[in-house]
A and B are shown apart, each in its own frame.
Chain A
Amino acid sequence: MEIDPNKVWPTGLTLAESEELHRHVIEGTRIFGFIAALAHLLAYIYTPWLH
């Protein structure tokens, strides 16, 4: 089903705006995940966590 790119949905966003916002959400999640993974690696190395 094709979505009209000019349609304004009930949230007030168009398809392009929604996908642009979602790109930022995904990017933020990736950065957060990378920092969290690094923090957990350091915690694993330098603390008794999981040893």
Chain B
Amino acid sequence: MEVAGRRGHAVMGLVAVALAFLPFWASGYALQLTSNALVAAMFALSLQLLVGGAGLVSLGHAAFFGIGAYVLFLLPSPLSILATLPMAALSAGLTALVVGAFAVRTQKFYFLMVTLAFGQMLFFLFHDTALGGGKDGVFVTRPALSLLGWEYAVPRRDRPAVSLWLNLAVLTGLYALCAWFMGTLYGRALQGIRANEHRMRALGFDTNRLKLGAFALAGACAGIAGHQAAMTEAFVNPDMLGWHRSAEALLMILLGGIGALHGPIIGAFAYVGLAEVAQIITERQRLVQGVVILAAVLVLRRGIAGLWRRAA
């Protein structure tokens, strides 16, 4: 998996700036849609650390996303985002550490089953017990944008814009973190594990431990994405932990290209955009999804990001 070079990052920066100007001319609905895409991109990016980064295809990743979201329900409000965001990351990360301890010792399809099962377990935890506030979800209070006593109270009409800017900022931060991480010796070792784990063990790498660290980090990042989802919608529900969410994120990675760190970001926007367009054309959403997957798997082998590279 490649991390984009200077030119790629320059392009990404330009797109980010363009998005930042969106609130000045786009409708409220468009802003909402963009925020959704940004949050989806964050989640898909966190999963890419596992999939493209270490070769670990997990179907339980949404559980950590959901935990990050539910933190806003479980913590007393109002708190500053400077407290809630780290809490979300920490809770999700610690949970991922526990789940990972079980999962990481397994391979490929077995790993898939184990992560799916644990994801479902956490889903049921929030769905069936009092912890989650109910099967249908519950409203949450957005964290305050405050720092050391000074608070920026967001007027209602500005909410979509502020959400968008905040999500843009968090996504940028997450991407920077992931790009740095994949560039470290740890990241290189993970890439080696993805290519040939047996070989890496034969060289002396404790691959289970390395995978566990990546799993926990990815979980923490998913928690951050979940926090942002809850903050944007001011609503959380157990489906946020469901495995269909994980599968969707995998699809975004596939669409955007597993070979590039920024692939899932492209994939998320493509997916959200496609879903919007498809909704206008037909009611058969699943059919569209299914066909898109088949097309991506059979035709678009390297994802959208791969198209760019071929052209370049």
A binds B: no
| Contacts from A to B (Cβ < 8 Å) | none
